[in-house]
Chains A and B, each alone.
Chain A
Amino acid sequence: MKESKIQENLKRPLVVSAGIHSALLAALLISVPAAHYRGEAWGGPGGSAINVSVVRNLPGIPLPRPEVVTASRRATESKGLHRSEPKTPEPPAKAAVEIPRFGQQPPTRPARRSPPARPEPEPEPEPPGAIPYGEGGPPALPYTPIQMGGAEGGMSFGSGGAFGLRYSWYVESVRRRVSSNWLISTIDPYVRYAPRVVITFEILRDGTIVNIQMLRSSGVASVDRSAMRALQESSPLDRLPTDYAGEKVQVEFWFDFQR
């Protein structure tokens, strides 16, 4: 009687425990693939740790390629400050002229004295960290300057995650659309320059822009307003790429204003 009661007491927790374990296993089995289905699959194309191709592969930026891309490129505006010139060969020593014996020849006119040779200036010692001539230039960084109409901007995609890698044409199309809706004529004409405005928003599957938030204000109200309006005018954007599995994409967009 007592034994059977103990048996019964053990049976129930065992059943419960087995049930819980199987349920946990099932939940894990279901949730992991379901979770991975959203957004970009890990290790998808372009998602590898080092993918240098992005910067180069940006569409839509007709940058002239640097003339020489050296592996040891250093970032300066100029091509390199110090050109090391080849050493000029020493002039060959002239043969010594024999001194005529006294009285044998009429005294010759004294030879015109050549001006005293100016001493060769000593080459200045190169400062430490000087860039050899021709090795400077724009850095090979994920930063591409755009120059148009006196204004300058830039953009960085490199850290854009897998989306920017896979759908760089979509990123570019967003940039184009927002740029074309940014009406700088609405900016106060006295403003000549404004610090960078950074705005974040989300693009839903159908291209609608939601959650527009100002991450960093420029401090100039009319510039902030024109940037916000540019985004509001751009909604809806084109729908997200059809083979993209995610529900929405987060965007950080910046505006540089300079007259």
Chain B
Amino acid sequence: MKLKGNRLGSSLTLPTVALLLLSSTALWAVRTQEDWFRTGTGMGVEKFRLAVPDFRVVGLQFNPLGETFNRVLWADLEYSGVFDLVSKSFYPLVPPAAPEELRPQEWVAEPVNTHLVVFGYVNASSTTVAIGAWVYDVRNPRSPPVLAKVYRGDASEGTVRQLAHQLADEIVSRLSGGLPGIAQSRIAFVSNRTGSKEIWLMDYDGHNQVRLTYHNSISLAPRWSPDGTRVAFTTYAQGKPDIQIHSLVTNRRVAFPTYPNTTTTLAWSPDGRQVAFSSSLTGNQEIYVSNSDGSNLRRLTDLPSVDISPAWNPRTGQQIAFVSDRGGAPQIYLMDADGANVERLTSGEGYATSPAWSPNGQMIAFAWQKDLSSFDVYVLDVATRRTVQLTYNGGRNEQPVWAPDGRHLVFQSNRSGRDQIWTMLADGTQLRQLTLDGSNSAPQWSWR
């Protein structure tokens, strides 16, 4: 009996195993047949044409929040540098507020002739706001939406601005192949509007300017940490230039040593664990590296010249650009993160200062007074040492810093009379003034 049972079992298991094998190979065969596409590039990059009709305001009548939302969203998308926004005057009279109301042929036809339509509604009650947003590829009307989301928050202008920034970032990221949008990034800068030079923070579009320091002294050169939770800056609060680090989470000062003599121009390593700075603690201004709490201090340069403004390659963390006058006038130099392989990047003409790496670690923006005329913003391709001038005939333009998307630059310019903060696309177009009060300088874009 026992034997028979075993025989039955074995005769059943063999085909079952065979069957399982068979079905799994069938599955595997289908699984390997993946979807694919083919594309390529010459050398040009074109822009998406995008139509952004006003989101329909439902709920409360005469609600200013809907108007704010539409204005901020339009400005964010226009400023992203990725899209050609189709003028609103071309749109159909009643733009859709839900996918059922979208008639793609209206948007594909002349004069709109767009690729994508962003539409939705703003439903505001007295306490909360809900924003429904869709992005459709109207040239492929049967394809699923590129984006379909509902955002909720309390009914305040700040929240609505934030939601518009979020939506803009989402659209930019989806349509530019994963590059981050900058609508939620922030800019730190120095302002004397209260009488003394203090560190201030603002949104990337110049709104929401808030004061960070209350030293009633001189504070300079703010530097965001890579995670955006800390801001380091140089301050004369104790009578001489020292570095302080301020935590935005606890709103308190974070421990960082005070060195003898002058310590200034800090730079964070891309992982946020190390800092490079310029200090004259042994008498001459040299570049030092330490952990972000001040431990493990090492000196990288050793020449009787002034070496300041270190900038860490944000992509690799293996190189540091800095300014030195070892060859006469200040020029941009490059060295490994351990101080080896020093080489000059700029040609040696004029004065070159304030190097700033692009997020992909391939370009350095800097201010250059090439022929004793005026400082202008230049971009240097590190691989080829070729430079491109971005600002012309616009007063003194200094301290350029890249935005986290690598498409924009923020800098300080006195073209409007006093020093103010300006931003532009990295090809020198789309200039935008962000500050108006007092004199503002030394902008620094957050890392994301």
Q: List A residues at the B interface (Cβ < 8 Å).
A: 12, 15-16, 19-20, 23-24, 27-28, 30-31, 34-36, 38-40, 45-46, 53, 56-62, 146-149, 151-157, 159-169, 171-186, 196, 198, 202, 207, 233-234, 236-239, 241, 243-244, 246-258
Q: How many angstroms from the CA of A61 to the CA of B11 in the assembled complex?
A: 64
Max count, chain B CB within 10 A of own CB: residue among A169, A248, A255: A169
Max count, chain B CB within 10 A of own CB: residue among A57, A59, A161, A167: A59
Q: How many angstroms from the CA of A80 to the CA of B66 in the assembled complex?
A: 55
When the two chains form their complex, are residues B22 and A27 in contact, meaning their CB atoms are under 8 A apart?
yes
With A168-B137, A241-B146 given, can you name 8 additional A-B contacts, CB distance below 8 Å? A12-B11, A27-B22, A35-B26, A60-B49, A168-B140, A243-B144, A253-B41, A258-B43
Q: How many angstroms from the CA of A202 to the CA of B178 in the assembled complex?
A: 16
Q: How many angstroms from the CA of A30 to the CA of B30 in the assembled complex?
A: 14
Q: How many angstroms from the CA of A4 to the CA of B31 in the assembled complex?
A: 50
When the two chains form their complex, are residues A20 and B38 in contact, meaning their CB atoms are under 8 A apart?
no
Given A168-B140, A173-B175, are A147 and B44 neighbors across the interface (CB < 8 Å)? Answer: yes
| 18 residue pairs bridging A and B, Cβ less than 8 Å apart | A27-B20, A34-B27, A59-B115, A59-B116, A62-B47, A148-B42, A155-B40, A164-B37, A173-B174, A173-B176, A175-B40, A175-B177, A176-B82, A178-B41, A207-B178, A239-B178, A241-B144, A246-B35
When the two chains form their complex, are residues A251 and B36 in contact, meaning their CB atoms are under 8 A apart?
yes
If over half of B's interface residues share one DSSP class (helix, strand or loop), that class is named, otherwise mixed; here it is mixed
From the candidates A62, A157, A169, name the one contacting B46 in the complex (CB within 8 A). Answer: A62
* A181 and chain B: residue at smallest CB distance: B360
Check if B374 is an interface residue, CB within 8 A of chain A.
no
Q: How many angstroms from the CA of A36 to the CA of B47 in the assembled complex?
A: 36
From the candidates B27, B42, B175, B177, name the one contacting A153 in the complex (CB within 8 A). Answer: B42
Give B9 Cβ to nearest chain A Cβ, in Å: 11
From the candidates A163, A233, A255, name the one contacting B41 in the complex (CB within 8 A). Answer: A255
Given A181-B360, A186-B384, A249-B36, are A57 and B19 neighbors across the interface (CB < 8 Å)? Answer: no
* B46 and chain A: residue at smallest CB distance: A60
When the two chains form their complex, are residues A59 and B383 in contact, meaning their CB atoms are under 8 A apart?
no
* B143 and chain A: residue at smallest CB distance: A166
Chain B residues whose CB sits within 8 angstroms of the CB of A257 once the complex forms: 43
From the candidates A148, A153, A237, name the one contacting B40 in the complex (CB within 8 A). Answer: A153
Chain A residues whose CB sits within 8 angstroms of the CB of B84 once the complex forms: 62
Q: How many angstroms from the CA of A237 to the CA of B47 in the assembled complex?
A: 18
When the two chains form their complex, are residues A46 and B41 in contact, meaning their CB atoms are under 8 A apart?
no
When the two chains form their complex, are residues A166 and B179 in contact, meaning their CB atoms are under 8 A apart?
no
Give B269 Cβ to nearest chain A Cβ, in Å: 21
Given A185-B386, A250-B34, are A148 and B39 neighbors across the interface (CB < 8 Å)? Answer: no
Q: How many angstroms from the CA of A175 to the CA of B41 in the assembled complex?
A: 7
